[in-house]
């Protein structure tokens, strides 16, 4: 059974692009789709700290193309991606919250609502005042959510996923693995992911979160 792991952090615009497409990719081919929440800042700190230097001193020519490229991709997949005034954002609360949402079978609507809040409406998703309306909209109890994400169990799950990605050679978000060892990085690698999945048997699609 082909298995696709999707390591992701909502704070990445390229991850938003991939997130909107990944379910359809797996649905067309078959297999399992495992959502793996991470904290991408932890990945950068450990193995890709050059990201910070490029943000502090961006190449103006590359930056102009980056803005165009992101706008072109957003238009292509039919979403809105702006430039949030708070960037990078502290996504630790919402990424721990992915596990709470997953327990209720609500991970996709939860994550989609937060992607839209941050990249579409340019809201600071580190703030409870932004998170609470999302919880209400998707049907997750506020008290339970905030209680759980403050516990060691949920902190440890996010840390474990982040450490696992680093150990497996990942360096950012989104990172995808086909059948455990075949790694792909970035939204633009989805056609290669689909091709890799097609080389495997095609059972009914399943979704899991780990």
Mean pLDDT of 31-48: 96
- pLDDT class for 14, splitting at 50, 70, 90? very high
% residues pLDDT > 90 (the chain): 84
**Residue 205 in domain:** yes
Determine the structural domain holding residue 144 and report its residue range: 33-209
12 catalytically annotated: yes
Task: Examine residue 10 and state whether it is found in any structural domain, yes or no.
Answer: no
- 24 lies in a domain? no
Q: Is position 103 within any domain?
A: yes
pLDDT tens-digit profile of 94-150? 999 999 999 999 999 999 999 999 999 999 999 999 999 999 999 999 999 999 999
Q: How confident is the model at residue 206 (pLDDT cuts 50, 70, 90)?
A: low
Answer yes or no: is 123 within a domain. yes
Q: What's the confidence (pLDDT) of residue 59?
A: 85
Query: For residue 97, is it within any domain?
Result: yes
Select which of 12, 54, 126, 129 is catalytic: 12
pLDDT at 53 over 90: no
Q: How many domains, in total, are found in the chain?
A: 1
- CATH of residue 147's domain is 3.40.30.10
In a domain, 17, yes or no: no
Structure confidence at residue 55 (pLDDT):
81
In three-state form (DSSP H/G/I as H, E/B as E, the rest C), the secondary structure along the chain is CCEEEEEECCCCHHHHHHHHHHHHHHHHHCCEEEEEECCHHHHHHHHCCHHHHHHHCCCHHHHHHHHHHHHHHHHHHCCCCCCCCCCCCCCHHHHHHHHHHHHCCCHHHHHHHHHHHHHHCCCCCCCHHHHHHHHHHHCCCHHHHHHHHCCHHHHHHHHHHHHHHHHCCCCCCCEEEECCCEEEECHHHHHHHHHHHHCCCCCCCEEEEC
pLDDT of residue 48: 87
Whole-number pLDDT of residue 58:
83
Residue 54 lies in a domain: yes
Look up the pTM and report it. 0.91
Mean pLDDT, residues 48-61 taken together:
83
């Amino acid at each position: 059974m082909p298995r696709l792991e999707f390591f992701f952090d909502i704070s990445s615009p390229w991850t938003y692009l991939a997130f909107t497409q990944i379910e359809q990719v797996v649905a067309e081919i078959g297999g399992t789709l495992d959502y793996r929440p991470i904290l991408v800042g932890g990945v950068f700190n450990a193995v890709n700290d050059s990201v910070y230097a490029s943000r502090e001193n961006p190449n103006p020519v590359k930056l102009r193309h980056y803005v165009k490229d992101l706008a072109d991709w957003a238009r292509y997949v039919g979403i809105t991606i702006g430039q949030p005034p708070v960037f990078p954002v502290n996504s630790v609360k919402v990424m721990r919250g992915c596990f709470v949402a997953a327990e209720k079978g609500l991970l996709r609507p939860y994550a989609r609502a937060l992607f839209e809040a941050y990249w579409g409406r340019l809201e600071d998703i580190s703030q409870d005042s932004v998170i609470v309306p999302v919880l209400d909209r998707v049907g997750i109890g506020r008290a339970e959510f905030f209680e759980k994400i403050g516990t060691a169990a949920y902190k440890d799950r996010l840390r474990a996923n982040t450490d696992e990605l680093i150990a497996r050679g990942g360096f950012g978000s989104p990172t995808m693995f086909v059948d455990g060892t075949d790694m792909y990085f970035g939204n633009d690698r989805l056609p290669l992911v689909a091709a890799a999945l097609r080389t495997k048997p095609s059972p009914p699609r399943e979704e899991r979160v780990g």
